Chain A
């Protein structure tokens, strides 16, 4: 397949199709204690990025980093606390559900578990046809269109009068993708779309996503915890930690020249399925666990686990990390990092 430009810039000459500015999502903590209602989970804290035509932007991070909340807030599936999501002249964050409906057709989402997102009583054909019916696109050629959608994801239309439970996990996810693409959306949010699948099946779904993008020009926001998958599919990658983007760069740049110490640790932690390479690698082990998003650390949120903070910085430098939250600063046109003391280029030493 033709390769897209890998040197896509943070700010493209072309207008972005979706732009997220200073997105914040807070929600009340459910700790189960009486009188704890005042506690707030700081799930997403000032996230800014842009998405371009036919681009795959991956949002990666570990559990609790806010990647899924970000993705859902984009589509107004969770009400943002503040910030803007600019799409087609509107700020989605402030739209009423009714006004949002106009845009839903062009903004779709695929979830991790297709069995949970497909109605078990609907046949696969009905599931794929439903969005067309809702948006009253049942005119001439409607049935052929459903068949074409099913074929385009590798499901034989002759099997389409069966129910989701009669399909394998990979096939079900293909159905969910066909359903998301039925209305020819501009943006599809993919929330861990292959995490529940076995690798041999996952590979087929990843290739399918790639091909569909080349054919339709759709843009993806690909939320994942799996950096190997992201390396394979993304044009740009945003790394999140405790509700903030700590680094964002083109895919190759991020993996080959990571600048933020968290990104470095993340990359070095992922085992490579190649015994010789894997055993020759140097692993950066982080101390401890992710702090609670109810009470995130002051200053840089990563400093409590940061090996550079602990081992390399002077006391004066540490004081900077402890008091000033680092801003996302551009290192060059395709790379920004939120660290007061970013790495010098390490040229692939982690891989």
Chain B
């Protein structure tokens, strides 16, 4: 990665100053990615802190910037990306750090789990030696000790007959088992932070349940903090201590799982919760309340609230972008001018009226994509 320009971050919008127990502190992170049409802003001034041992879940839809945030923290963005702001891992600055410095951090302090396990496993190397390699890369242990540790780790993540299976190649493992191997490698060096980017999205539900169990166990065994990136609000509800909701490259709501799910204060989060069909709701008892329109394309940026074009509460104040400000309890933040009015508001109250299946919202709603194209052609 090209050494990015450091810009002094403005006053952090997160709650309170970073303290002793904060293993990861991200301040005013912006990421601009190279595209055919030039650099586009994908992450726009993100602040987040991760406390030791906690699970912070980052949720949002495609294009919200959640995965790019993860890649930025890991220093895995494509060349010529421009990253500004600060990412401090256990006190060490990662933005602008050399590749060597980053390599020392990855695996040792920071581990990652991606959606596709085969993208992180070596297909021509047996599973046991791959884990042992990770163990040896960052610690002074003998070959034999590392091999023993590999089997121990495989057992811990729930691979049956670990000693035998350590001799197999990744292709001899099923998808769920491969993801467990990746989890075993991630925890090999007791990292401070595990970043899991959609770790179970490619898996079937019964396998997802097994892998989530392994992940929770791996985390409690290693004491690592976890940044869990997912679009699945069910997974968030089952694992997250705190939740960060992203929209169009910005944090729009942050709070404990309870605060975000039960005391939602940002219209986008309200809409998201109202859109999800629930296994425990009888057919016909609740109507889904979709959010009209589609998320803005990344190359468009307004000076106002980026959710306003889809928001039923949008009004003149929304022409100014709302800051992420505290609501009620300490630590619960939301970016909306009307957070007080959202107390106790249900998704159906906000999005339920009018055209429920968006049949009449076509012009201003789903027309967003079209509008941006029209603007392009007008040049």
Binding site for B on A (CB under 8 A): 1, 3-4, 6, 62-63, 151-156, 159, 162, 166-168, 170-171, 198-204, 206-208, 210-211, 225-229, 231-235, 251-252, 255, 265-279, 283, 285-290, 351
Contacts and interface: CB of A to CB of B under 8 A. Distances in A.
Given A199-B61, A207-B357, A228-B234, A289 B209 contact: no
Nearest to B261: A275
B369 A167 contact: yes
A229 to B, nearest CB: 5
A268 B197 CA distance: 24
Interface residues of B, number: 65
A271 B237 contact: yes
B356 A351 contact: no
A112 to B, nearest CB: 15
Interface in B221-251: 231-238, 240
Contact of B205 (A168, A270, A288): A270
A212 B258 CA distance: 37
B279 A270 contact: yes
A331 to B, nearest CB: 20
Given A166-B369, A227-B205, A228-B278, A207 B356 contact: yes
Nearest to A273: B233
A6 B358 CA distance: 26
Main secondary structure of the interface of B (DSSP, over half): loop
B238 A204 contact: no
Given A203-B276, A273-B278, 19 more contacts: A1-B284, A1-B287, A62-B207, A154-B355, A154-B361, A167-B370, A199-B61, A201-B294, A203-B274, A208-B357, A226-B277, A228-B279, A231-B277, A232-B278, A266-B206, A274-B278, A274-B280, A285-B209, A288-B160
Contacts of B240: 275
B237 A206 contact: no
A155 B160 CA distance: 52
A208 B288 CA distance: 11
Given A255-B279, A289-B176, A351-B280, A151 B359 contact: yes
A286 B234 contact: no
Interface string B203-214: 011111110110
B18 interface: no
B291 interface: yes
Contacts of A265: 206
